[in-house]
Amino acid sequence: MPDLPAHTSPAFPPLHSLRPEHPHHLEADDYVLAGATASSSDATSTPPKARRPSQHPPPAIISPAFTPPATPGVSTPSDPRPRPPRSVPVLPSGTDSPRPELLEQLPIVDCEVRARIPTTTGHEMWLHVYRNNVDTKEHLAIVFGNQIRSRSLDREREGETELERMTRGAYVGRLYPGRTHSRVEAIKRAEGAMPKAQPQPQSQSPGSSASSDAGDAAAETSRTELPLVRIHSECYTGETVWSARCDCGEQLDEAARLMSSPHMSPSGGVIIYLRQEGRGIGLGEKLKAYNLQDLGNDTYEANIMLRHPADARSYGLATSMLVDLGLGGEEGIRLLTNNPDKVRAVEGPGREVVVRERVAMVPLAWKTGGEKGIKSEEVEKYLSTKIEKFKHMLTQQ
């Protein structure tokens, strides 16, 4: 989705100035952004550095303790084609971080309904609403491409009419006025042949006979063709009300952009959207944490001061939803994340999902030398805390 309306669009006027009255606070006009010519395809560029013309050294936008490492040689300015994001293999032994505590059993999930959503960029995605046996929230799977299908959605339900099946989204291909059957074969049978105007059915899901025909080829399949997955946690502030305190809205946009590009993600992709707002503490508590951050604490400390874990999330639901979408098993997935805990946790207690590669999410401002992306003192502090305290890996290594 190259033209997704970014939550951080420069054209969007700020609601109010976030500039504090600290005398040494960064003045935007005092700085010239270095590296503004960096290629936007450079997935491991360093963030912009601030330079101040006056005699006083500038207060760093990024924590002085944090120097994002540069990975040379990844930009190809002469090649205008989009390149798949670089990814790094995830070894079975995993990362250096301790394995997070996992539920002994995966939650049971059920896809209640799905619908085709044409988007403002001209791409389409399939929005799936899931229910489960551990909470009452509607967790979501945003599916790009036609290869990925929900097993629980497609399951036969006793006494169900064809209209009911189509209404809950359990159909193959596309709906059109007058369609009477959820399955293409039934339409063929009823009409003697495939109707001329009938749009092409979706390709079969992984694990079906058609896809197993291609099973041998799968062994040779380049890892870039593994489905791309993002496990995204709800962030009302960053995704809906234009907050520049975090990079959540930008990450959601970027995941959708990569997954809707057949070049970047030829096997399609899924964003599992979990309703665990505020790293699991909820919106109200997150707002309290923001006030504590304005009082000088970082995002980690603020949660602790509120007597919450620094990160109160879990990922068992995501594992179950991925299995339901046919992405479990040895073939594996590529996971779009900087969070080492997520890589471990999403694999599940019995390694039901295998993360073959991790694809880093580098902030847009870093990739573009500050030309695009979120610019705020708050987000810089947030990102440096994620790296220093949550051990997020914002580069490919």
Residues with catalytic roles: 311, 313
Count residues near ligand GTP (CB under 6 A).
22
User: 153 or 321: whose CB is closer to ligand GTP?
Assistant: 321
CB of 204 vs ligand GTP, minimal distance in Å: 30
C-beta separation of 146 from 268 below 8 A: yes
Closest CA to 199 of 170, 223, 177, 167: 177
Please select the residue that binds ligand GTP; options are 289, 317, 318, 365, rule is CB under 6 A. Answer: 289
**Three-state SS at 385:** helix
| Stretch of 118-126, 140-148, 157-165, 278-286 contacting ligand GTP, by CB under 6 A | 278-286
Which tokens in the block code for residue 223?
């890892």
CB of 10 vs ligand GTP, minimal distance in Å: 22
Closest CA to 342 of 299, 313, 302, 301: 313
Q: Alpha-carbon torsion 301, 304, 308, 312, what sign?
A: positive
Calpha distance 289→378 (Å, rounded): 13
Contact between 269 and ligand GTP (CB under 6 A)? no
| Exposure on the CB side of residue 49, measured as CA atoms within 13 A | 12
Which tokens in the block code for residue 122?
């001209």
Which tokens in the block code for residue 270?
């899924």
User: 226 or 246: whose CB is closer to ligand GTP?
Assistant: 246
Q: 27: exposed, middle or buried (C-beta count within 10 Å: 0-12, 13-18, 19+)? A: exposed
CB of 149 vs ligand GTP, minimal distance in Å: 25
Dihedral pair phi/psi, residue 293, rounded to 5°: -70, -40
Dihedral pair phi/psi, residue 227, rounded to 5°: -55, 140
| Exposure on the CB side of residue 379, measured as CA atoms within 13 A | 23
CB of 282 vs ligand GTP, minimal distance in Å: 9
Residues 300-339 that bind ligand GTP (CB under 6 A): 303, 337-339
User: 235 or 327: whose CB is closer to ligand GTP?
Assistant: 235
Residues 215-254 that bind ligand GTP (CB under 6 A): 233-235, 246, 248, 251
User: 224 or 233: whose CB is closer to ligand GTP?
Assistant: 233
Q: Return the number of other C-beta atoms located less than 10 Å from residue 158's C-beta.
A: 4
Residue type, 324: D
Calpha distance 102→114 (Å, rounded): 28
Calpha distance 99→193 (Å, rounded): 54
CB of 202 vs ligand GTP, minimal distance in Å: 28
User: 75 or 276: whose CB is closer to ligand GTP?
Assistant: 276
User: 299 or 314: whose CB is closer to ligand GTP?
Assistant: 299
CB of 144 vs ligand GTP, minimal distance in Å: 17
Per DSSP, the residues of 229-282 read EEEEE--HHHHTS--SS-SHHHHHHHHHHHHT-TTT-TT-EEEEEE--GGGGT-
Please select the residue that binds ligand GTP; options are 7, 288, 342, 367, rule is CB under 6 A. Answer: 342
Closest CA to 121 of 260, 264, 229: 260
Please select the residue that binds ligand GTP; options are 279, 288, 334, 358, rule is CB under 6 A. Answer: 279
User: 147 or 237: whose CB is closer to ligand GTP?
Assistant: 237
User: 147 or 251: whose CB is closer to ligand GTP?
Assistant: 251
C-beta separation of 323 from 353 below 8 A: yes
The H or E element that residue 228 is part of is: strand 228-233
Residues in contact with ligand GTP by the rule CB under 6 A = 233-235, 246, 248, 251, 276-279, 281, 286, 289, 299, 303, 337-339, 342, 361, 386, 392
